[in-house]
Amino acid sequence: MVMPSTLALILAGGRVDELGVLTHYRPKSAVPFGGFARVIDFPLTNLMRSGIEQIAILSQYRSYSLINHIGTGAAWDMIGRHRGISILPPFKDYENPHWYRGSADAVHQNLDFVRYHKPSEILILSGDHIYTMDYRDMIHFHNEHDADLTAAFIKVKREDAAGRFGVAEIGDEYSEGGRLLSYEEKPADPKGEWASLTVLCFKPEVLYKMLQKNQAATSYEFGRDIIPMMVQEGRKVLGYKFQGYWGYTRTVNEYWQTSMDLLGDNPLINLEQWGIRTNLEHRDIRDCQPLQVGAQGVLDNSLAYNGCIVDGTVKNSILFPGVRVEKGAVVENSVLFFNTLVKEGGQLAQVVCDVNTTFGRNAQIGLSSAEKKIKDKLTDRVTVIGWNNDVPDKMRIGCGCSVAPGMEREKWPKKGLEDMEVLQ
């Protein structure tokens, strides 16, 4: 069932401070994920497989990386007379003196674009979540019950949701969900147990009215403002109960954990089954040589893609194209972005490293041998290295440290970095 009258808007332009150096020069939606893709590839692939072919991406923070990745939209079959991907950057004109002041304001500023397409439904998505979903099921639920707004939620533990997600109480009128009984944005003590996926389906005319009302406020967010306002007004707001996997990438630790969910005999994220699409022209991925594993190379429970050369030992890790691990080097529980080099004797454990970085001989990065034995450190002490760095030989960088992009050689401390220190 193809729905050419559904317009999808992807909120993809923000930077998340908790991702630190990974978003110094790119929006969160453009952060690499899965060994070859970008985070935004997940909602884009979902839209493609749902038959939704009119898409706009609202981008504000350092958009070049995102624009370069989207290209013409051909990677997601979004080229045609009645289909395509539009990038909607912020602007100022004689009617609007502001940049995007929030997710709701970003949509409000582009209502001329939205109205031009005369959509029967407006689907608003976050560009920074990892999941697979057929939006047609949710849209059918929305239309079948004549909702003003249908929002997707996933069940979580209350203590896990506190201060992190929008949380709802949902009735059980229908098998797929029910009416929102309450909604709170990142409450300290949640009443409900259903966390928002930021997958929202609106009746167009209702959305237009809500956005106009919101212009008189001082906050302009869907979760903080639009959804609570609709619930308080007694609008028909339904919660759609999503049952699949959902990965969150707001913090470095969450990004690392979601990446680790790609590994194992029965991974929680199976990219082959999900059929994720990406732009193989971005960073020339399609032109990379096949993966090479040398005679002494070890690749254990890991993902390594075209262009990688493994002569050392790689365990429980994800290597993007162009990564090279020399003889005697060991990489464990780590994610290495494009064109990273680990020289002979280098030891990396629980590291996320951005592109074009070299680790010198015998450098020790992340968890030490003793710390690896302490299980409770394995999920809260990720070391992050920014892009375009040249880490000196024998440099020791402790667990949980963060190194800014492009550090000059003279700024590297001779004694190394202790746990949780920041080099910038």
**Rg over CA atoms, the chain:** 22
- Rounded CA separation 46/41 (Å): 8
Domain annotation for the chain: domains and CATH numbers: 6-253 (3.90.550.10), 288-423 (2.160.10.10)
Q: What is the pLDDT of residue 16?
A: 66
Tens of pLDDT, residue by residue over 64-89, are 889 999 999 999 999 988 889 999 98
Instruction: Provide the 3-class DSSP secondary structure of residue 45.
Output: helix
Average pLDDT rounded to a whole number, residues 146-170: 93
Calculate mean pLDDT across residues 149-172: 92
CA dihedral 321, 322, 325, 330 (to 10 degrees): -40
The answer to pTM > 0.85 is: yes
pLDDT tens digits, one per residue of 165-176: 999 999 999 999
Q: Which of the two residues, 375 and 287, has the higher pLDDT score?
A: 287
Give the model confidence (pLDDT) of 177-191 as tens digits.
999 999 999 999 999
Contact present, 307 and 289 (Cβ < 8 Å)? yes
CA-closest candidate to residue 137, choices 242, 270, 271, 273: 242
Higher-pLDDT residue of 17, 104: 104
pLDDT at 377 over 80: no
Cα–Cα nearest to 133, from 279, 275, 280, 278: 275
Closest C-alpha to 380, from 355, 399, 402: 399
Q: Residue range 195-207: average pLDDT?
A: 97
Q: What is the pLDDT of residue 2?
A: 45
| 361 pLDDT higher than 80 | yes
> Quick one: average pLDDT of 300-308?
96
Burial-class residue 24 by CB neighbours within 10 Å (0-12, 13-18, 19+).
Answer: middle
Question: Is 415's pLDDT higher than 90?
Answer: no
Which tokens belong to 285? 């991925």
Over residues 255-292, the pLDDT tens digits come to 999 999 999 999 999 999 999 999 999 888 989 999 99
- Spatial distance between the Cα atoms of 195 and 156, rounded to a whole number of angstroms: 6
* Short-list 16, 64, 31, 22, CA closest to 387: 22
Cβ atoms 263, 34 nearer than 8 A: no
Residues 234/228, Cβ–Cβ less than 8 Å? no
Q: What is the mean pLDDT of residues 91-115?
A: 87
pLDDT at position 378, please?
54
